[in-house]
């Protein structure tokens, strides 16, 4: 399984904030989906891509984890 997260340059986040987001994302996702490879990048727009999560319930769980971490660490 793979999770690729892209953070928009327009967010103007420090490298430390991005690293903290990635660390928390890794901690929470690996607890539920231990085989997941996670990458976080900065690019022109924000978004995420999931590969290998075949069950809708798994996709919903992962989306919920992402939203919670984003709101706590990035979104305020």
In the chain, where the domains are located: 2-74
Q: Report the CATH superfamily, name and number, of domain 2-74.
A: DinI-like (3.30.910.10)
The pLDDT value given to residue 71: 85
Mean pLDDT in consecutive groups of 10 residues from the start of the chain, 76 residues: 95 91 95 96 94 96 93 67
The pLDDT value given to residue 74: 64
| pTM, entire model | 0.85
CB 11 within 8 A of CB 40: no
Q: 52: which DSSP letter?
A: S
Q: Which residues contact 28 (CB under 8 A, 6 or more apart)?
A: 65, 68, 69
Place of tokens 């706590």: 72
């Amino acid at each position: 399984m793979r999770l690729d997260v892209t953070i928009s340059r327009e967010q103007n986040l420090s490298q430390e904030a991005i690293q903290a987001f990635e660390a928390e994302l890794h901690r929470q996702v690996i607890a539920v989906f231990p085989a997941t490879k996670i990458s976080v990048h900065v690019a022109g727009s924000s978004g995420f891509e999931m590969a290998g999560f075949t069950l809708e319930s798994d996709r919903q769980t992962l989306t919920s984890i992402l939203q919670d971490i984003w709101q706590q660490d990035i979104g305020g």
